[in-house]
Structure 1
Amino acid sequence: MFIACFEVVWLCRLLVEIGFPQSTSTPLHADNTSAIQIATNPVYHERTKHIEVDCHYIREAVDKGRITLPHVSSDLQIADVFTKSMPRQRHQFLVGKLMHLDPPASI
């Protein structure tokens, strides 16, 4: 989540520099509800003392309105097609969500 957040913030700054400011925050979809709660809740808990700079960076981006963290169900997490093994039907469903098209056949 940290790397994706870093890339979103960098791209937003780049767009501002070239004259295309962003009027709304960018949604960064996550399926980990605990990570979303930790990033959006500034209250310190004993169980979260091991969290380092990564979480603070995401929390700062959320506070400044650069990103939002909407929850996406694990069943609809498209990134799983790249990271997990799964049955063929599930794999085809997620690949369909990517809207990947076969290249046209050469003549």
Structure 2
Amino acid sequence: MSTACYEIIWLRGLLTELGLSQAQPTPLHADNTSAIQIAANSVYHERTKHIEVNCHSIREAYDRRVINLPHVSTSVQIADIFTKSLPCQHHNFLLGKLMLVDSPASI
């Protein structure tokens, strides 16, 4: 999330320099509800004291409304096709989301 957040901040800065400022926060989709809650909740908790500086930068961007953190359900997490063994039907569903098609047989 932190690398994506840095990229969002950089791209928004570039767009602002080009005269295309954005009024709405950029969605940074995440599937980890715990990470979303830690980033969105500025209250210090004893259990989160080991969190690195990256979390604080995400929290700062969230507080400044540069990003928002919508949750992505596991059933539509496209990255799962690269990282998990999936049933055929779910694999084909995610393959369709990637817009991958079979090449024609005549080629």
Partner Cα distance (1:11, 1:97) in 2: 25
Measure how far apart 1:85 and its partner are: 2.8
Q: Secondary structure of the residue that 1:54 maps to in structure 2?
A: helix
2:14 aligns to what?
A: 14
Matched residue type, 2:6: F
Measure how far apart 1:105 and its partner are: 8.1
- Structure 1 segments, 4+ long, off by >4 Å, are 101-107
1:51 aligns to what?
A: 51
Q: TM-score, normalised by structure 1?
A: 0.88
Matched residue type, 2:59: R
Matched residue type, 2:5: C
RMSD over aligned CA atoms reads 1.8
Q: TM-score, normalised by structure 2?
A: 0.88
The 5 Å alignment of 1:76-87 reads 76-87=76-87
1:97 aligns to what?
A: 97
> Which digits, 9 at most, give the CA deviation of each residue in 1:23-59, with x for residues without a partner?
2111111111100000000111111010011100100
Q: Percent identity?
A: 67
Q: Structure 1 unaligned runs (5+)?
A: none
Q: Does 1:26 align with 2:26?
A: yes
Deviates more, 1:1-10 or 1:95-104: 95-104
